[in-house]
Amino acid sequence: MKLSIENRPSDQREALLSLSGEIDYETAQELRTAVSSVLDGNIDTLVIDLAGVTFLDSTGIGTLVVAKRICHSMGVKLHIRRPNPFIARLFAVVGVSDILGVPIPPGTVSGRLPQPRERGVTQPA
């Protein structure tokens, strides 16, 4: 199943992209195009609904991260909604949960790197 994108304006200042299918190297350009087209409008918030996404590779993850950065630079809030449990865990393992604003599922080890220790500061045991 390839990617299907439904663009539904939620209200005058918010756009909703409902995705279903696969976001991968072959379909990421479709997502980039859809995001660009809604950002051409006058919106404050973009919601990307992942409820129907069945597969997501590194290109898809990168596309979402870049979309988040572009939205931030334009003053538009980007919300990622309803990833399935596998995709939510994938975001955590790759270390982009915080960037994308997706909660880390319980029991999932985050891919975030630990903060460096400061010299001369004793760490609790």
pLDDT of residue 5: 96
pLDDT of residue 93: 93
Q: Which residues contact 72 (CB under 8 A, 6 or more apart)?
A: 78
37: alpha, beta or left, given left = phi > 0 and alpha = psi -120 to 50? Answer: alpha
pLDDT of residue 95: 94
Domain boundaries, the chain: 4-100
Q: Residues 52-72: what's their mean pLDDT?
A: 97
Neighbouring CB atoms inside 10 A of 35's CB total 25
Give the model confidence (pLDDT) of 63-100 as tens digits. 999 999 999 999 999 999 999 999 999 999 999 999 99
Instruction: Confirm if 66 and 31 have CB atoms less than 8 A apart.
Output: no
pLDDT of residue 41: 76
CATH superfamily of 4-100: STAS domain (3.30.750.24)
Token digits for 104? 């880390």
Give the model confidence (pLDDT) of 9-38 as tens digits. 666 789 999 999 999 999 999 999 999 999
pLDDT of residue 116: 63
